[in-house]
Amino acid sequence: MTSTLLSTSEYLIVRGGSTLTGEVEISGSKNASLPILIATLLSEERSTILDAPYLLDIKNTIELLENMGVEIKREGNRIEVNPERITNCRASDENVRRMRASVLAMGPLLVRCGEAIVAMPGGCSIGLRPIDQHLKFFQSAGVDVNVKHGYIYLERKEKKSVNFTFDIITVTGTENALMFLSSVNKESVLNNIALEPEVMDLIEVLRKMGADIEIEGRKAIIRGREDLSGFIHKVIPDRIEAGTFMVGAYLTGGDITLKNVIKDHLTSIIEALREAGAVVEEKSVNEIRVYGSGPIKPLNIETREYPGFPTDMQAQFMVLLSLADGVSVIKENIFENRFQHVMELKRMGADISVKGNTAIIKGVRNLTGAEVFSTDLRASAALVIAGLVAEGETTVRDIYHLDRGYENFDKKLAKLGASVQRLPSL
Ligand code: EPZ
């Protein structure tokens, strides 16, 4: 397991003609685990996180916290945190470059240290990824913000209540603000917040720590406390991992049952799959069966903030629609550059054209295996499932992207009948 996490030059060989059948256990959510791990800084008491997936991003977050002096013990999917001693209040360039979600440390560090020094995150393959909304919130909350030498220097000048409205809906921006305000013992309001299940899971944790948070539509009313307590929390299942396997099942004409899901988090994905002709049976609130042998019907998809169709499922559906009976349209409304996987899919024979943030996908009869490169973690998963149905072999390179966001993805696929081999680069 450790070798999987540490090697960055491995690649996968995927053989076409695989049909996914059987049962798969979905792991805990990466995007819930990251903010919840960092929220442990808000208290000096110990906390325990259960079902945290064993991923590169989690490893990076653990290192980020250990660099601040926090003691952390990880046993499989259980992480115990003792944040009693903080020796420094910074998220280094190395931490932030490896994982931009390190910016989530700004809120908790300001609470614990009264200041935070966090490297400016770079862009990434899916877009510039600015954090202006995060900084605008902190300035409105009495924090001095200065950017110099590639670092953001934040200093808390006063503890005030705020009534802040985000100009755009931002997941980690909302999470940073919620963590910060949970420690202010005055009533504050946040408007136009993100409502992703991962944000709601963080809110559950902040409530366990002692904050009083009410949600009304896209408004949060927060009454914080200065003496927040530790917590024990089992993170929610990863809805994007679940969605990825659901697409893989229908794409390969298979039949899989997913365990450890929360079906209410998957509504937009289930609707899109059913519209494309898949059969999706809700066997219970935590178990879903997906099967169907097509023909795959074309779709018109627009990515939106939750509960809309998730941008993190866009690449996976593009693979599915590459083999649909007709022409599909995907509009990417969240990120300005999240079509990097289009060129890779065209190498496999897909017929896709891109105009601005809109992709037109003309279904083809089949894809052919090729050597392809991962560009972001969801695109890498999409290329792997494309390889399951392509004729011949597909080599998926740079799968450290995959290991950032999917726990044992190749092993889980192999258990479902896929022919997937992980090899170290020569
Ligand atoms: C979170 O990223 C997720 N990451 C992303 O998942 C996910 O794709 C994204 O939300 C959208 O759902 C984590 O939760 C760790 P945003 P985040 O702030 O918070 C713009 C994955 O695959 N924006 O909601 O960084 C931004 O550029 C990753 O697991 C500003 O302009 O996304 C984007 O266009 C990829 N200013 C849009 O808003 C800001 O201050 C949404 O970004 C903040 C964001």
Atom of ligand 1 nearest to the CA of 377: 22
Query: Token pair for residue 263?
Result: 């079906």
Mean of the per-residue pLDDT values of the chain: 95
What would the mean pLDDT of 176-188 be, rounded to a whole number?
97
What would the mean pLDDT of 234-243 be, rounded to a whole number?
98
**For the ranges 58-62, 93-97, 109-113, 371-375, which has the lowest average pLDDT?**
93-97
**CATH class for the region spanning 10-27+237-424:** alpha beta
What would the mean pLDDT of 242-270 be, rounded to a whole number?
98
What would the mean pLDDT of 296-311 be, rounded to a whole number?
98
Q: How far is the CA of 307 from the centre of ligand 1 (A)?
A: 15
Confidence of residue 92 (pLDDT cuts 50, 70, 90): confident
What would the mean pLDDT of 101-122 be, rounded to a whole number?
94
Q: Given this model, what pLDDT does residue 8 score?
A: 53
Task: Please state, for a pLDDT cut of 90, what percent of the chain lies above it.
Answer: 89
Confidence of residue 1 (pLDDT cuts 50, 70, 90): very low
Taking the C-alpha atoms of residue 181 and residue 221, their distance in angstroms, rounded to an integer, is 10
* CATH tag, 30-234: 3.65.10.10
Residue 173 Cβ < 6 Å to ligand 1: yes
Taking the C-alpha atoms of residue 359 and residue 388, their distance in angstroms, rounded to an integer, is 23
pTM of the model: 0.96
- Beta bridge partners of residue 420, listed in sequence order: 14
What would the mean pLDDT of 324-351 be, rounded to a whole number?
97
Residue 103 Cβ < 6 Å to ligand 1: no
Confidence of residue 9 (pLDDT cuts 50, 70, 90): confident
Query: Token pair for residue 53?
Result: 């997936």
Catalytic residue chosen out of the listed positions 124, 189, 200, 354: 124
Question: Is there a contact between 191 and 165 (Cβ–Cβ < 8 Å)?
Answer: yes
Q: How far is the CA of 124 from the centre of ligand 1 (A)?
A: 11
3-state SS record for the chain: CHHHHHCCCEEEEEECCCCCEEEEECCECHHHHHHHHHHHHHCCCCEEEECCCCCHHHHHHHHHHHCCCCEEEEECCEEEEECCCCCCCEECHHHHHHCHHHHHHHHHHHHHHCEEEEECCCCECCECCCCHHHHHHHHHCCEEEEEECCEEEEEECCCCCCEEECCCCCHHHHHHHHHHHCCCCCEEEEECCCCCHHHHHHHHHHHHHCCEEEEECCEEEEECCCCCCCCEEECCECHHHHHHHHHHHHHCCCEEEEECCCHHHHHHHHHHHHHCCCEEEEEECCEEEEECCCCCCCCEEEECCCCCECHHHHHHHHHHHCCCCCEEEEECCCCCCCCHHHHHHHHCCCEEEEECCEEEEECCCCCECCEEECCCHHHHHHHHHHHHHCECEEEEECCHHHHHHCCCHHHHHHHCCCEEEEEECC
Taking the C-alpha atoms of residue 361 and residue 402, their distance in angstroms, rounded to an integer, is 24
Q: Given this model, what pLDDT does residue 367 score?
A: 98
Reply yes or no on whether the pLDDT at 6 is more than 60.
Answer: no
What would the mean pLDDT of 321-346 be, rounded to a whole number?
97
Q: Given this model, what pLDDT does residue 39 score?
A: 98
User: For ligand 1, atom 42, which residue shows the shortest CA distance?
Assistant: 170
Burial of 308 (0-12, 13-18, 19+ CB in 10 A): middle
What would the mean pLDDT of 64-86 be, rounded to a whole number?
96
What would the mean pLDDT of 70-92 be, rounded to a whole number?
95
Q: Given this model, what pLDDT does residue 67 score?
A: 94
Reply yes or no on whether the pLDDT at 422 is more than 50.
Answer: yes
Reply yes or no on whether the pLDDT at 122 is more than 90.
Answer: no
Confidence of residue 96 (pLDDT cuts 50, 70, 90): confident
Between 171-181 and 106-113, two packed helices, what is the crossing angle to 10 degrees? 20
Query: Token pair for residue 85?
Result: 């001693």
Reply yes or no on whether the pLDDT at 22 is more than 70.
Answer: yes
Taking the C-alpha atoms of residue 52 and residue 100, their distance in angstroms, rounded to an integer, is 19
Residue 334 Cβ < 6 Å to ligand 1: yes
Q: Given this model, what pLDDT does residue 426 score?
A: 61
Angle at 129 between CA 121 and CA 351, to 5 degrees: 130
Reply yes or no on whether the pLDDT at 3 is more than 80.
Answer: no
Reply yes or no on whether the pLDDT at 87 is more than 90.
Answer: yes
Residue 34 Cβ < 6 Å to ligand 1: yes
Q: Given this model, what pLDDT does residue 124 score?
A: 76
| Phi, psi torsion values for 138, nearest 5 degrees | -60, -40
Instruction: Please state whether beta strands 219-223 and 255-259 pair in parallel, antiparallel, or not at all (unpaired).
Output: unpaired
The residue written with tokens 């896209």 in the block is 218
Residues of the chain with CATH 3.65.10.10: 10-27+237-424, 30-234
Reply yes or no on whether the pLDDT at 292 is more than 80.
Answer: yes
Write the pLDDT tens digit of every residue in 206-235: 999 999 999 999 999 999 999 999 999 999
113 is catalytic: no
Q: How far is the CA of 415 from the centre of ligand 1 (A)?
A: 32
Q: How far is the CA of 293 from the centre of ligand 1 (A)?
A: 34
- Beta bridge partners of residue 115, listed in sequence order: 155
Q: Given this model, what pLDDT does residue 193 score?
A: 98
Q: Given this model, what pLDDT does residue 94 score?
A: 85
Write the pLDDT tens digit of every residue in 183-200: 999 999 999 999 999 999
Taking the C-alpha atoms of residue 313 and residue 299, their distance in angstroms, rounded to an integer, is 14
Reply yes or no on whether the pLDDT at 405 is more than 50.
Answer: yes
Reply yes or no on whether the pLDDT at 159 is more than 80.
Answer: yes
**For the ranges 123-127, 185-189, 263-267, 332-336, which has the lowest average pLDDT?**
123-127
Question: Is there a contact between 369 and 390 (Cβ–Cβ < 8 Å)?
Answer: yes
Instruction: Please state whether beta strands 287-291 and 279-284 pair in parallel, antiparallel, or not at all (unpaired).
Output: antiparallel
